[in-house]
Amino acid sequence: MRCGFLRVETDTGMDPDATPIVEAQLDTAAPDPRYREELKAVFWLMYQVRQGSKLPVMEAEAVAHSLYVSMRTDGPTTLPAIPLHSMSEYVAVHAINVALLAMALAEFDGVDHAAVREIGIAGLLHDVGMARVPTELLAKSEQLSEADRERVRQHPLTGARIIVEADAALELAAVVAYEHHLHVDGTGYPLLRYPRKPHYASQLVQLCDVYHALCSPRPFRQPWPVDLIFSFINERAGIEFNPALVTSLLALVKKQSRG
Amino acid sequence: MEGFTNSFGLTFGTVATASEQAWVNLGRTLEVPDDGMEPGAVAMRMSAQGKDAARAFALLLESLTGPDDVVSARVSATIVKLNVDHLTPVFQALEVSERKRAAQAAAASLDTKAMVVLLQAVGRAFDLPLSQPLLELIEKLARQTETPIMANRSRADDGFRGLADHLVERWSESQINAGGSDFEEMFAHSSTSRSSIAAEAYRVVALSLETGAIGTVVWTSLKEQSRTEQGVRELIDMLARAPEAEGGVASARVMIAEQIATPSRLTQLLSEDPIDFAAVEMMVGQLRVNATKPLLGALIDAPNRATRRALMDRLVQIGPDIAPAVQERLTDRRWYVIRNMVALLRECDCAVDPSVLDGFAVHDDARVRREVLHIRMGDTTTRAAAIGAALLDKDKLIVRAGLQAARAGFPAAAVSVLARRVMEEDFPQEFRAMSLVLLGRTANIAALDPLLAYAGGGKSLLGKAKLGAKSPEMLAALSGLARSFPADRIARVLLDVAAKSKDEQIVNALRVSSSGD
């Protein structure tokens, strides 16, 4: 399946790509005014990175900060918070939604406030490496060729470099950008020269990344219903995903939907 | 001192607060009369003043005690009146540290409208003007502080001020990073504060060595990881496994290794048993000549031949630059230390003043002498004397080395030495034939007597010259005479006898000579 922008091979059953390719139904709701500035800032930020500029750190931190503030002042966050109106918005919308979901899940999991913010930045920037992947590749509605897939699979490495080279204290964001396609069982990518378990924040963002990707319409498929997403995620708990985080996410989403 | 009340109702005197006093001081610096101290007037004067006014203004901001400070509202109004264009030069006139202190103090006390203006000015003063999206985010957070719900307003206010404070912090850091373009400096300036969820230092360094990414976070983590012996060991292991030729990764490896490789860490590494030579290799590659002393120390204490050889190989890799450190070790009295040092000087092709080795050429231990003679035989200025000394030595291995050296070029001074030695009874039997071959290849007259002595066998009963009993020595001597002394009268007699011999080997000895070997 393609999570976020990536096609991830799995051998554990369901394959969302097996579903017929249909015209994805985008959300027709009015743009959420709560996050207008954040969306604009993320668009701008990704544009800067795509042009080869250094990562605008202050803008990234300000977006994450603002999301954190709004998450706390606007009451419980609905997950995902921002509807997708156009596939061209996907990068920014996905970044913001993953940041929001990751912060909510971290807080739900008992992480302290300062660390929740760090996770917010990490969630926001986890796919920043995609900014350097050619846009035409991302917009493809057909299956990617092996070469294209390989180019896309470089995005964790590219993302980590972009963040590290920004020369700001964003080590967690760099680690998450690098590790968010690693699985808890040691599989996934990139291949590590120094094998290690993904960081807790990487595991958390990875889960939110997949969750939001499945919730979202893609050029090649419809969004998945929540129960199917959880069935998919549960099946991979302990293999791809941290089982405790899966349990927390399920509880969080249930709590949110009740609220 | 009696108090007085100014135009906007502040009472000054013995009970004035620090911020009230700072406001008055600002007024005096700007030469605004106390009764004219209203924001518009202050703003107008501020924009035309220089450093003193900027400092007085900074002190005023630092003196504010919070949003409830009675002066805060005045200062906020002044800032809004000043606007971004006029406030920027005020902050530009301040040192970086003053700018940071003043802006952070302001963030804790001024109203949000003033802070939006102030942040724009401070950003410009740091040469990092706010981007449009950032300004819009700041303005959004400022708007949120106006929400009618008290609880939310307080959170939004905290959020806004937190962001302002953070931006000022980042701007200040950027000045440090900009000044510290070399990695040493970045390493020194890297902060070490860690959050509860911070990525482990090891993980960040691993990421750097896997991706080739280098930046402040890597230096911070490197510093953190280097705090413990265990951490350093892990770093060294990682570096030893990092590829040396893989573009960006290789350069990250070099930059990190530069920070980690020190002579004392190498010493530590060399004290492990067994020694991890992959890690040592990495360190030596980085330290180059600075690795010499730790390696020499380890070489002296090495418990076995394999380890010694491995250490010597690393020293040899460094090259002739190791000579001064090696020569220092020649003062050691232990024979094996001297032997190894001399061997290193030889293997590294070090240029050594011959007089340094004089004493060791006659050392009691043959193993030392052997190494010294090896060096001297390789040096054209000492070669002849060294071959002569080797041929005279009582140690068979040294004699053999001398003979081998002579095969490549037999100095005249050494011919007479060998000619004498080969006739001595205690000269090792196994070297006699080889010695006679060598003597037979030189036309030096000193060689003639031993050749005749070994080729001849005295006279027959009839008084005719006869050949000696056939032996490798006799054949070598005969061959030498045929080759180098065919015109000598005595030699000619023996050669004629040999020519008439029915013994194929004897006849062959003459032929071999004439064919040039």
**What backbone torsions phi and psi does residue B458 show, to the nearest 5 degrees?**
85, -150
Q: What whole-number distance in Å separates Cα of residue B161 and Cα of residue A106? A: 23
Asked whether the CA dihedral B293, B295, B296, B297 is positive or negative, the reply is: positive
CA angle centred on B220, ends B215 and B223, rounded to 5°? 125
Decide if A37 and B136 are in contact by the 8 Å CB cutoff. Answer: yes
- The whole-angstrom distance between A130's CA and the closest CA on chain B is 16
- Percent of chain B past pLDDT 90, that is, above it, reads 58
Q: Which of B152, B196, B241 sits opposite A112 (nearest CB)?
A: B196
Question: B397 vs B367, B373, B430, B460, B505, CA distance in Å?
Answer: 9, 11, 12, 39, 30
- A200 part of contact set with chain B, CB < 8 Å: yes
Give the best residue of A42, A63, A69 to mutate against chain B (max B CB count within 10 A): A69
In this prediction, residue B30 carries a pLDDT of: 81
Confidence of residue B331 (pLDDT cuts 50, 70, 90): very high
Report the pLDDT value the prediction gives residue A74, as an integer from 0 to 100. Answer: 62
CB proximity B181 to A under 8 Å:
no
Residue B398 bridge partners (DSSP): none
What is the model's pLDDT at position A77?
Answer: 57
Q: Chain B, 193-252: which have a CB under 8 Å from a chain A CB?
A: 195-200, 202-204, 206-218, 220-221, 238, 241-242
Confidence (pLDDT) at B129: 93
Decide if pLDDT at B382 tops 80: yes
Rounded Cα–Cα distance for residues B281 and B206 (Å): 19
pLDDT value of position A11: 36
CB pairs under 8 A between A and B: 153
Q: Do residue B221 and residue A171 have CB atoms under 8 angstroms apart? A: yes
Q: Among candidates B211, B238, B235, B237, which has minimal Cα distance to B223?
A: B235
Which residues of B are less than 8 Å from A194 in CB distance? 206, 209-210, 238, 241
Q: Which of B131, B177, B198 sits opposite A56 (nearest CB)?
A: B131
Residue with tokens 């000044």: B179
Q: What does each C-alpha distance from B250 to A159, B5, B75, B239 come to in angstroms?
A: 19, 70, 54, 10
A171 to chain B, closest Cα gap in Å: 6
Residue length of chain B: 517
Q: What is the mean pLDDT of chain B?
A: 87
Residues of A in contact with B217 (CB under 8 A): 163-164, 168-171, 174
- Mean pLDDT for the stretch of residues B467-493: 94
Are the Cβ atoms of B206 and A161 closer than 8 angstroms?
A: no
Q: Does B135 touch chain A (CB under 8 A)?
A: no
Q: What is the rounded average pLDDT of the residues B295-312?
A: 94
In this complex, do B170 and A44 lie within 8 Å of one another by their Cβ atoms?
no
**Closest in A115, A169, A194 to B217, CB measured:** A169
Mean pLDDT over B206-211 rounds to 95
Distance CA B306, CA B296 (A): 15
Nearest CA in chain B to A39: B133
pLDDT for the residue B368: 95
Residues of A in contact with B138 (CB under 8 A): 62
Whether residue A229 lies within 8 A of chain B, CB to CB, comes out as: no
CB contact under 8 A, A115 and B211: no
pLDDT single digits (tens) B239-282: 988 887 777 788 899 899 988 899 999 999 999 888 999 889 88
User: In which residue ranges of chain A is pLDDT below 70?
Assistant: 1-32, 73-82, 84-88, 141, 259
Which residue is listed with tokens 């929001």? A100
- Partners of residue B140 in chain A, C-beta under 8 Å: 37, 66
For residue B194, the model assigns a pLDDT of: 61
pLDDT of residue B73: 92
Helix B432-440 and helix B396-407, axial crossing angle in degrees, nearest 10: 20
> To 5 degrees, how large is the angle CA A134–CA A189–CA A113?
90
Residue with tokens 């995903």: A241
pLDDT of residue B513: 56
3-state helix, strand, coil in chain A (%, to 5): 60, 5, 40
Q: What is the pLDDT of residue A76?
A: 54
A139 min Cα distance to partner chain B (Å)? 26
Instruction: Look at residue B345 in the predicted model and tell me its pLDDT.
Output: 94
| A119 contacts on B by Cβ (under 8 Å) | 197
Residue A176, C-beta contacts closer than 8 angstroms, at least 6 positions apart: A119, A122, A123, A125, A126, A199, A201, A202, A205
Rounded CA-CA distance A193/B138 in Å is 42
Nearest 10 degrees: Cα torsion A111, A116, A122, A125: 150
Q: Do A194 and B173 touch (CB under 8 A)?
A: no
Rounded to two decimals, the ipTM of the complex is: 0.87
CB atoms A160 and B213 under 8 Å = yes
B98-110 pLDDT, tens digit each: 999 999 999 999 9
Residue length of chain A: 259
- B238 CB neighbours in chain A (<8 A) are 194
CA distance A250 to chain B (A): 22
Higher-pLDDT residue of B473 and A3 is: B473
Taking residues B467-489, what's their average pLDDT?
94
Q: What is the pLDDT of residue B168?
A: 92
Query: Of A58, A111, A157, which to mutate for an interface test with B (greatest number of B Cβ within 10 Å)?
Result: A58
CA angle B227, B228, B232 (to 5 degrees): 90
- A-chain residue closest to B165, CA distance: A62
Q: What is the DSSP string of B111-149?
A: -HHHHHHHHHHHHHHTT-PPPHHHHHHHHHHHHHTT-S-
Residue A196 touches chain B, beta carbons under 8 Å: yes
Which pLDDT belongs to residue A19? 35
**Residue predicted with more confidence, A150 or B34:** A150
B285 vs A10 pLDDT, higher one? B285
Q: Which residues of A touch B155 (CB under 8 A)?
A: 69, 72-73
Confidence of residue B1 (pLDDT cuts 50, 70, 90): very low
User: What pLDDT does B44 receive?
Assistant: 74
**The pLDDT value given to residue A78:** 53
Residue B363 DSSP SS3: coil
Interface of B with A in 496-515 (CB under 8 A): none
Quick one: DSSP state of residue B247? T
Q: Do A69 and B199 touch (CB under 8 A)?
A: no
Q: Which of B173-177, B250-254, B513-517 has the lowest mean pLDDT?
A: B513-517
Q: Residue A7: what pLDDT?
A: 34
B177 contacts chain A (CB < 8 A): yes
